[in-house]
Each structure stands twice: as structure tokens, then as C-alpha cells.
Amino acid sequence: MSGEVYVGNAGVDAALDRGWLLGHFKPPGDPRHSDDVEIKWGVHPAGDERAEWVRGEERTALLVLISGRFRVELPGRGVLLAEPGDYVVWGKGVDHSWRAEEPSTVLTVRWPSVPGYRVPEGDGPRVPDGDGTQAPDGERSRVQGG
């Protein structure tokens, strides 16, 4: 990294920070730090799903299918992303969840970048990170057995 330029690989960098490439959670001074937008490169095995619904969302989100087959659940509506480039956008206040029907790669863009909650290990309530800051929500997912 040098000054205001960062060159990386989404697959490699995403593995270092639960998929997140850009947002408020990157260190100040890092070109990937932003209070305006969050970007995630999500790689999901078949059967991977969000451990619990996101409720009270404060951001607008765009989710684009890169590969695979990915279902987004919204109140009263399921959206299947089946062709590369299929996408869905939802606004503030729209609860959501998701499930990878096949091995899938998705690009998520959310704005603005605000502290959210992550799903903790286990089935407890969403909690702030241990350092007092809050990680982006949706970090932990679970793979269905069987």
C-alpha cells in the first residue's frame, strides 16, 4: 500500500476480513477506509445461509451475483439471483436474509458505511465487537448439514 492507492485481489483480501474490502471498519489512513460505502466480496458454499435475519437495516444495499445461484429473502418476497449479473437493491428499513443455493460469489455494496452488528458464534443475540466497535453485520453464516 502506498499513499492513496491500494492494489489487491478481492478473493485474497476478502478472506482476511470476513469478505469486506472497503468501509468504515478499515483503519483510518487506509485507502479502503470509507464512511460513505461498504463493499463485500462474498464467497459462499452451497447451503451457506445467514444465521439470522437483519432487522432494522440503516443502509441501502445492492447485491450482484458474480457466479452461482443465490437467494435473498425480503419481507413477503424471495428473490433468486440465477444468472451472472442478476442483482437486487433494497432500501433502509428493509429486513433481509440470504442463502446460497449453489456455490456462489456475490458482490455487496452498502451505503452509507455505518457500524452494524455481526452475528456472534452460537445462537445468541447480535453483539458489538470486543473492542467496543461494531463490525458489519452478516459476518457469520452457517452451513446447513445434510
pLDDT of 129 reads 32
Q: Which residue has the cell 469478505?
A: 19
Tally of CB atoms within 10 A around 55: 13
Q: Which residue has the cell 433494497?
A: 90
Q: Work out the burial of residue 59: count CB atoms within 10 Å of its CB; fewer than 13 is exposed, 13-18 middle, 19 or more buried.
A: buried
Amino acid at 70: F
CA distance 70 to 49: 10
CA distance 116 to 55: 11
CA distance 122 to 132: 20
Tally of CB atoms within 10 A around 39: 20
Residue-by-residue pLDDT tens, the chain, 146 positions? 446 999 999 999 998 888 999 999 899 999 999 999 999 999 999 999 998 898 988 899 999 999 999 999 999 999 999 999 999 999 999 999 999 999 999 999 999 998 765 555 444 443 333 223 334 444 333 333 33
Tally of CB atoms within 10 A around 135: 23
pLDDT of 117 reads 53
pLDDT of 125 reads 40
User: Looking at the DSSP assignment, which residues form a beta bridge with residue 100?
Assistant: 70
**pTM check: above 0.85:** no
